[in-house]
Structures are given as C-alpha cells and as structure tokens.
C-alpha cells in the first residue's frame, strides 16, 4: 500500500500533535521548582509578590513550600517568574526559586 503525499503529510501532522499532547501531559520539559526561604534579598534583586503569580504558579509554589521538596512545573510559561526575578514574597517571607530541567 502506497501513501499519497497528502495522506503522508496528514499522518505526520497528527503524530506531531500527539507528541505535543503527551509532552504537555507528562511535564513537557517545563522542569521542577525548588524553593528556599531566605532572610533577605541579595543586593539589587527584586521579588515577585505571590498574589501576582497566576493560579497555576501559586499552586505550584505552595506545593513546593509545603512539601519541602521539588515539584513539577505544569507548563513552560509557568516557570517565567520563578526564573526571573527568581524570588517570591510569600506569607511575610522571601523565597528563592530555583528551576531545574
């Protein structure tokens, strides 16, 4: 059985879509988040307020704080504030956020 050009392209597009969905469901390379409470910000550093994180980021951050271990970041976009500025103001404290692949 020989596949026509349109059929082969359709199959390739479908495979790419399936791989994208699987990657999104299994973490998609977004990495893991580790948080560590610090006494103060390093000179010249800023911190994002917890309330300014989106709901997924807040849930991920709270999971990391309460578990005391690394947690999976749900999407690639959810890692942005954890990388830059790399600090979060939360519950009266400052937390350094580290993202690992």
User: Which residue ranges make up each domain of the chain?
Assistant: 1-29, 31-100
* Exposure class string for 40-50: b at 16+ Cβ within 10 A, else e: eeeeeeebbeb
User: How high is the pLDDT of residue 22?
Assistant: 39
Q: pLDDT per residue over 71-87, tens digit each? A: 999 888 788 889 999 99
| CB atoms inside a 10 Å sphere around CB 84 | 11
| Residue 101 pLDDT | 85
Write down the pTM of the prediction: 0.69
């Amino acid at each position: 059985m020989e596949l026509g050009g349109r059929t082969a392209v359709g199959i390739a597009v479908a495979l790419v879509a399936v791989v994208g969905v699987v990657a999104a469901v299994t973490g998609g390379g977004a990495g893991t988040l580790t948080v560590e409470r610090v006494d103060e910000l390093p000179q010249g550093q800023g911190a994002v307020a917890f309330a300014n994180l989106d709901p997924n980021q807040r849930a991920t951050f709270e999971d990391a704080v309460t578990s005391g271990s690394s947690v999976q970041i749900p999407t690639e976009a959810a890692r942005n504030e954890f990388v830059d500025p790399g600090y979060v103001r939360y519950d009266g404290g400052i937390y350094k956020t580290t993202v690992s692949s």
